[in-house]
Amino acid sequence: MKVILQKDVKGTGKAGDVCEVNDGYARNFLIPRKLALPGDASSINAANIKKQADAHRLEMQRKRAKELAAGMNGLNVKVYAKCGENGRLFGSIGAAEISAGLKEQHGLDVDKKKIRLDEPIKALGKLNVTAHLYENADAKFEVEVLPLPQNN
């Protein structure tokens, strides 16, 4: 019997797969537990269309990420922070501040989870940072930490 899996089933397949299983396994286990739907011609066709749409969506995300990475390579982002006299920051600069700087200065919307920092930035100066936007789509750019201008 052909079934369309709604959830991942160990030993049978992943969600969205069209599988051939024993009739009893489908009727007594998969279908009552809402793990699968019976696979008639229209539902199999709908599942195939959905799978193609998902593949197309992933391809478009990959393409956009590569374009964004190409645009981000070599950028310079300036981040301002309060600091003491010796150049040490009060607090630290994290991925959220870098993401905000990218959006404000260059109009690029990059999620803070995509920015890779080994540890938070705690001193003034320039630092090379990598953003992992998608698999095989990394962007390397420079972050410059500057002291906040003093108001007299």
pLDDT confidence band for 151 (50 / 70 / 90): low
Domain 2-64 coded CATH 3.30.260.10: no
**pLDDT at residue 120 in the model:** 87
CATH 3.40.5.10 region(s) of the chain? Answer: 2-64
Q: What pLDDT digit, counting tens, does each position of 110-149 carry?
A: 899 999 998 888 888 899 999 998 888 889 999 999 988 7
Residues of the chain with CATH 3.10.430.100: 69-147
pLDDT (tens digit, 9 = 90+) per residue, 52-85? 999 999 999 999 989 888 888 888 999 998 888 7
User: Average pLDDT, whole number, for the chain?
Assistant: 90
Percent of the chain with pLDDT over 90: 55
Q: Beta strand 137-147 with 76-81: parallel, antiparallel or unpaired?
A: parallel
pLDDT at residue 152, rounded to an integer: 43
Q: Which phi and psi angles does 119 have, rounded to 5°?
A: -155, 155
The mean pLDDT of 30-42, rounded to a whole number, is 92
Of residues 21 and 86, the one with the higher pLDDT is 21
The pLDDT-based confidence of 7 (bands split at 50, 70, 90) is very high
The pLDDT score that the predictor gives to residue 47 is 87
CA–CA gap between residue 29 and residue 96 (Å, rounded) = 47
CATH of 69-147, one of 3.10.430.100, 3.40.50.300, 3.40.190.10, 2.30.30.40: 3.10.430.100
DSSP state of 68: H
How far apart, in whole angstroms, are the C-alpha atoms of residue 58 and residue 14? 17
